[in-house]
Amino acid sequence: MKKLILMSTTLLSSAVMAAMPVNHPVGSSFTLSSSPNQRALSTALGNPAAPFLMVNEQDNDSFRFGILGPLGVGVEFGDVSDLEDQVESLEDILDTDYGSDTTAGAGAADGANEILAEIGDSAYVKTSVSMQVPLMPVIYKTKNNGAFILDVSISGSLKASLLASEVEYDSTEEDFNTDTSLYAQTVTDLNIGLGYSQSMWQNSHGMLVGGVKASLHQISLGRALASLDDNGDDDYDAGDEISDGLSDDSVSSTGIGLDFGLIWLSDYYQAGVTFANINEPEFDGVLITTNDVADEYSISSNETYIMEMQTTIDAAITTSGKQVTLGFSYDVNPVEDAFGDEYQWVAASLSYYGDSHFLPGLRVGFRQNTAGSELSYASAGLTLLKRFNLDLAVALDTVESEDGETVPRSFYIALGYNAAF
């Protein structure tokens, strides 16, 4: 059972090595919402109609492309402010020798169960990393005002959770027995997207732009489940079992997601809608051997991943030169990621992008996941020399670290270098 203490503490301390939740927008899109912004190339990856807006026709440009990144890293972990105190209390219980005193042992087990119930509901760490392949995305606008986009990205994520189970005291063995387990999931995604957008209709008030995109996903899923009870085996280590399971039993499969989007563009405002993963592609999962605690947490032996369809609406008010933009986006419905966590973002932002290379571009934003974790983020970004982008976001929900300091439950940072608008 002392492995439980070590593993629980590791879940918290490993957060400092973490990265970005996989269903977060990439780059400056995290700050700017899903509303396309002509000055921010990463926003072309949302609405399939957005690439049409990204090439500056006034300068007779035909191409726009990324140079390096964005590379995004971040972390999300559970509400574990009281983990240290709970672990200390649990240690006191487990270090006590109850011998054959069944009554005292049963009472201690009840106390341990109360602690484990709180730890099991809150102890998780979710980490990932995502980046664009160098020079991606590439946007080419034809003389007939059709815009093609090619995008290639790589992302990976890990989630580790503690599954708490009932603790019993065995007076014969003079020890505690439990099915408490560590559950880990991984996902990697190589995504190659090809899209096309063009003007569909216009009048004196504005222009209607439509776009379609097909994204080829090669997804590798891994899962592992290991009990923290060694059952008397001195060579057993739950961490090694998890590591071996994730490396040996991952499953890869390929699918194509189809997106469709519309944008109404005017001089001072725009509004759009995106329908992502219309065909809801499905990916193979990993077959694992479950135990009683996995059943309690509704973890099945064989789980597949379906990229569910999601509808997003967006709107923005801008100055005529697009220097100042107030943007908004809202996911109409929640969807689950490969770990089964729900995401439904609502976001708002204010940005300034000047025409000078020497004045920095500035942006601030707020977003909330209205499903799943329900975390809210405050974010800010900076663009230097019209090319170098830095964005940082922190969750407004906080927890107390082991040294007593208050830290955000999640953070996100992204770096990128793109061709200027």
Q: Where are the domains of the chain?
A: 2-129+138-418
pLDDT at 16: 41
Number of helices (H), then strands (E), belonging to the chain: the values are: 6, 23
Q: What is the mean pLDDT of the chain?
A: 86
- pLDDT higher for 167 or 82? 167
Residue 301 token pair: 């032996």
What is the distance, to the nearest Å, from the Cα of residue 394 to the centroid of all Cα atoms in its chain? 13
Contacts (Cβ under 8 Å, ≥6 apart) of 101: 171
pLDDT score of 85 more than 70? no
For residue 290, the model assigns a pLDDT of 87
The pLDDT tens digits of the residues spanning 20-77 come to: 344 678 889 889 988 999 989 999 999 999 999 998 766 567 889 999 989 998 888 8
Looking at per-residue pLDDT, the higher value among 256 and 110 belongs to 256
Q: Strand 206-227 to strand 181-203: parallel, antiparallel, or no bridges (unpaired)?
A: antiparallel
Mean pLDDT of 325-340: 95
278: Cβ contacts below 8 Å, ≥ 6 apart: 257, 258, 259, 260, 309
> Which tokens is 31 given?
């700050």
As to burial, measured by CB atoms within 10 angstroms (0-12 exposed, 13-18 middle, 19+ buried), residue 142 is exposed
Q: How many CB atoms lie within 10 A of CB 196?
A: 18
Highest-scoring range by mean pLDDT, 269-273, 296-300, 322-326: 269-273
CA distance 5 to 16: 19
Using alpha carbons only, what angle is made at residue 328 by residues 325 and 330, rounded to the nearest 5 degrees? 165
Is 0.75 topped by the overall pTM? yes
Q: What is the pairing mode between strands 398-400 and 406-408?
A: antiparallel
pLDDT tens per residue across span 253-296 = 999 999 999 999 999 999 999 999 999 999 999 888 888 888 88
State mean pLDDT over 153-167.
87
**Comparing 36-50, 124-138, 164-178, which segment has the lowest mean pLDDT?**
164-178
Residue 17's pLDDT band (cuts 50, 70, 90): very low
Give the integer Cα–Cα distance in Å for 403 and 405.
Answer: 6
The winner for highest mean pLDDT among 18-22, 68-72, 245-249, 361-365 is: 361-365
| 184, two tokens | 């880990």
Q: What is the pLDDT of residue 91?
A: 64
Asked which of 28-37, 86-95, 106-115 is least confident by mean pLDDT, the reply is 86-95
Averaging pLDDT over each range in 88-97, 180-189, 330-339, which range is the top one? 330-339
